Structure 1
Amino acid sequence: MKFSEQLQKQATPIMDAINAHPFVEGLAKGDLPKEALITYVQQDYLFLKKLREVWASALRMSKNDEQIRFFWGIIEVILDAECDAYDTFCEQAGVKMEDMKDAIPSPKAYLYEAHLDQAVLSGNFLYLLAAFAPTPWTYLEFTKHILNSDIDMTNNPYKPVLDFYMNEENYAGPTFKFIDELAETATKEELAEASQLFLKTCELEWQFWEQAYYQEDWKFKDVLEAARKEMA
């Protein structure tokens, strides 16, 4: 069994929970609360800025031309393409994207960003890839789970979003390939740490849907907002 296959097998309980999450089920049924959509777009917009830093670090750590082209392509393409999904969510929520860009990262998004920072600061390319891989993989898996079900998607307003998420195969597949190549020369301890990073990211993906659906936020958000305005 390849190391990437082992990682995915270990993450099965978390992936099952993501598939069953009410936000994901709402995508499948075409029915999501306005507040959940707004929270998701706000937090994901901020989170993509962090991912851009992760991809830039991966570009610097890349070992060959194939990897360089791959991460350069992510930086160049996916950030702009993600706006298509945002537009759909904003349309369904009845809000404008330009009004969504001044949010503060939620506690769970903040934790997610710190988790990725830890992988980057390690300087270990396997760790960084293991921490990044669940981002495209979980999206791809829950999308396939929905589209392969018997749910009628004819009038589902989120069908274009799900079609867009199927493009994550272009990122999950190569990332797992690079992970397997690095795993061939990794120590037992490095593989164990990479496994932990991968699984923690999987849970943080679940937590991301959780905080969006239930609008989980800082207890003293008003204090944070006031201080930001004061220091501006």
Structure 2
Amino acid sequence: MKFSEELTTAGQPILDEIIKHPFVQGIANGQLPKEALTFYVGQDFNYLNAFIKVYAAAIQKSQTRADMAIFAKQIDFILNSEIHPHHNFCNVAGVAYESLQHEAQAPGTYLYNEHMYNAARTGDLIDIVAAMTPCPWTYVEIANLLVKEGKNTSDNVFKPWIDFYANMDNPDDSILPEFFALIDREAKQYDRQRLDRVKEAFLKSCEMEWDFWDQAYYQKSWRFVEPLKQYH
């Protein structure tokens, strides 16, 4: 079994729980509270800003221009393409996208961002990619399942979201084959103990993907938010 397959096999139980989450089921059924949608967009905008910075760190740790090109392409994707699913949520919620681009990090977003930053600060290229892969992996899996279940019908207000991430599975659009190939290539130079640390980082990101949906659905902010407002 390839190491990338070992990672996704280990992460499958978490993915199963993500698919069952009420936020994801709301996408499937075309019904979600406005508050959940706006909270999600505000936090995901924040998260993707961190994602771009971690991609830049991956470029610094890349040894070839081919690897650099992978991450450069993904930076461009986030800046110029991944705004479309955000617009879908904003249109359904009836809010301007620009109004949600200055939200403070919620606790789950802060933890997830720091988890990725830590991989960039202290890890090798494989650590960075392992920490980042659960995001595109789970989204593509969710969208493909919803398409398979026939949820991307014209009367589902979240059809654009579903179609966007399902299309990411096309060989010309998906980052996953390149990420998995990079993980498998890099894994050959490490022993089992070291790979277990990589696997731990991957699984932590999988759990934080679940938590990201959960914090948006229930709008989980800081418990003592008032004292923190002066610092945002």
- Deviations 1:44-103 (CA, angstroms, capped at 9, x unpaired): 001111001110011111132321111111112322211111111111111111211221
Which residue is equivalent to 1:17? Answer: 17
Give the 3-state SS of the residue equivalent to 1:216 in structure 2.
Answer: coil
| Structure 2 residue 224 is matched with structure 1 residue 220 | yes
Q: What is the one-letter code of the residue matched to 1:41? A: V
Indicate which of 176, 191, 196 corresponds to 1:187.
191
Which residue is equivalent to 1:88? Answer: 88
Which residue is equivalent to 1:32? Answer: 32
Q: Is the 8 A contact 2:146 2:152 kept in 1?
A: no
Which residue is equivalent to 2:210? Answer: 206
In 2 relative to 1, CA 62–156 (structure 1 residues): closer, same or farther, beyond 3 Å? same
Which residue is equivalent to 1:140? Answer: 140
How far did residue 152 of structure 1 move? 6.3
Give the 3-state SS of the residue equivalent to 1:95 in structure 2.
Answer: coil
Q: What is the one-letter code of the residue matched to 1:209? A: W
Give the 3-state SS of the residue equivalent to 1:112 in structure 2.
Answer: helix
TM-score by length of 2: 0.94
- Deviations 1:154-185 (CA, angstroms, capped at 9, x unpaired): 31111111111124431122101100000111
Which residue is equivalent to 1:65? Answer: 65
Give the 3-state SS of the residue equivalent to 2:112 in structure 1.
Answer: helix
Question: Percent of aligned positions with the same letter in both sequences?
Answer: 38
How far did residue 125 of structure 1 move? 1.0
Which residue is equivalent to 2:153? Answer: 153
Q: Is the 8 A contact 1:137 1:168 kept in 2?
A: no
Structure 2's unaligned 5+ residue stretches are none
CA RMSD after TM alignment: 1.3
Which residue is equivalent to 1:176? Answer: 180
Q: Is the 8 A contact 1:108 1:207 kept in 2?
A: yes
Structure 1's unaligned 5+ residue stretches are none
Which residue is equivalent to 1:3? Answer: 3
Q: Is the 8 A contact 1:134 1:201 kept in 2?
A: yes
Q: What is the one-letter code of the residue matched to 2:165? A: Y
Give the 3-state SS of the residue equivalent to 2:175 in structure 1.
Answer: helix
State which drifts further: 202-211 or 163-172: 163-172
- Deviations 1:8-31 (CA, angstroms, capped at 9, x unpaired): 001111010011111111111111
| Structure 2 residue 112 is matched with structure 1 residue 102 | no
How far did residue 150 of structure 1 move? 4.2
How far did residue 153 of structure 1 move? 1.9
TM-score by length of 1: 0.94
Give the 3-state SS of the residue equivalent to 2:223 in structure 1.
Answer: coil
User: Following the alignment from structure 1 to structure 2, what is the Cα–Cα distance between the partners of residues 30 and 224?
Assistant: 35
State which drifts further: 35-44 or 155-164: 155-164
How far did residue 35 of structure 1 move? 0.4
User: Following the alignment from structure 1 to structure 2, what is the Cα–Cα distance between the partners of residues 138 and 151?
Assistant: 17
